[in-house]
Amino acid sequence: MDNQTLIYAVDDETSIREVYRYALVSAGFTPECFSCGDELFIALEKSLPRLIILDIMLDGEDGYEILSRLKASPRTANIPVIMVSAKSTEIDKVRGLDLGADDYISKPFGVLELIARIKANLRKTVPVASVISYKGIVINDDERIVTVNGEVKELTLKQYELLKLLVSEPQKVLQRDYLLDKVWGENYGETRTLDIHVGSLRKIIADSGAEIATVRGVGYKIV
């Protein structure tokens, strides 16, 4: 199995799983679909996918609980997760993002949107040196490890890529549109996603001696 194209999808509706299989195969991916969290974690013991599509409203263990388990394990914490749900309120989206989700799609969704979001989440950002640092923050890009004052920090893929962009150009104001495009791709959806991720990064680097400053109406910079 080619893990570079492997995508896992979890949904308890057979019809939705069939949509995932058709859409992902058509786009050149290798899908494996599951009806519950238990099936997902059994598969994760064998192979790690490039990305996981995770429905929130599942029978038994819901998507939020599964997401929490994924992010609690160092082995799966950095796998991008796209949450999918009929719930479309801001509070539902924020909850998923706060738990570590990298993106959120509301049902009903279009196949083209789904594939665009997947590709955007898999897209690599600008290349940087293998190790970059600023004040107490050190990023080892080869091993995708972030330390603050020598302590390893667990970051989601999007948190990691956003912090890497900021640390790569300290003291420089990076525009909102630039950050959204580089981290989330052209189909980034709601711009509040950036603000939520910046808020979470501020907590992570709080003891580093660096801070992420807001430049009102423009973007962010690390100082």
DSSP sequence for 100-162: T-SEEEESS--HHHHHHHHHHHH-------SEEEETTEEEETTTTEEEETTEEE---HHHHHH
Q: What are the helix (H) ranges across the chain?
A: 14-26, 37-46, 63-72, 90-98, 111-122, 157-168, 176-184, 192-204
117 and 138 fall within a common domain: no
- What pLDDT is recorded for position 119? 92
- What pLDDT is recorded for position 69? 93
CATH at 81: 3.40.50.2300
- What pLDDT is recorded for position 72? 87
pLDDT in tens, 53-109: 999 989 889 999 999 999 888 778 888 999 998 876 777 778 888 888 999 998 888
Q: Within 10 Å of residue 180's Cβ, how many Cβ atoms?
A: 19
Q: Is residue 115 part of a domain?
A: yes
Tokens of 163: 């912090």
146 and 87 fall within a common domain: no
- What pLDDT is recorded for position 66? 96
154 and 78 fall within a common domain: no
114 and 175 fall within a common domain: no
Using the Cα atoms of residue 156, residue 158, residue 161 and residue 163 in order, give the sign of their dihedral.
negative
Expressed in angstroms, the distance from the first to the final Cα of the chain is 44
- What pLDDT is recorded for position 190? 65
pTM assigned to the model? 0.57
Tally of structural domains, the chain:
2
- What pLDDT is recorded for position 129? 47
Task: Find the angle CA(7)-CA(196)-CA(150) to the nearest 5 degrees.
Answer: 80
Q: Which amino acid is at 77?
A: A
pLDDT per residue rounded down to tens, the chain (223 residues): 456 789 999 999 999 999 999 999 999 999 999 999 999 999 998 888 899 999 998 988 999 999 999 988 877 888 899 999 887 677 777 888 888 899 999 888 899 999 999 998 888 534 444 778 889 998 988 778 999 988 999 999 999 999 999 998 889 999 999 999 888 886 666 678 899 999 999 999 999 999 999 999 999 999 9
10 and 82 fall within a common domain: yes
- Print burial letters for 13-52: b (CB count within 10 Å at least 16), e (below 16): eeebbebbeebbeebebbbbbbbebeebbebbeeeebbbb
How do beta strands 103-106 and 145-148 pair?
unpaired
Q: Which domain holds residue 85?
A: 6-122
Q: Is residue 1 part of a domain?
A: no
108 and 25 fall within a common domain: yes
Which strands sit side by side in the sheet containing 137-140, from one edge to the other? 131-134, 137-140, 145-148, 151-153
- What pLDDT is recorded for position 127? 41
- What pLDDT is recorded for position 207? 93
Instruction: List phi, psi (to 5°) of 115.
Output: -65, -40
137 and 156 fall within a common domain: yes
Tokens of 126: 């600008």
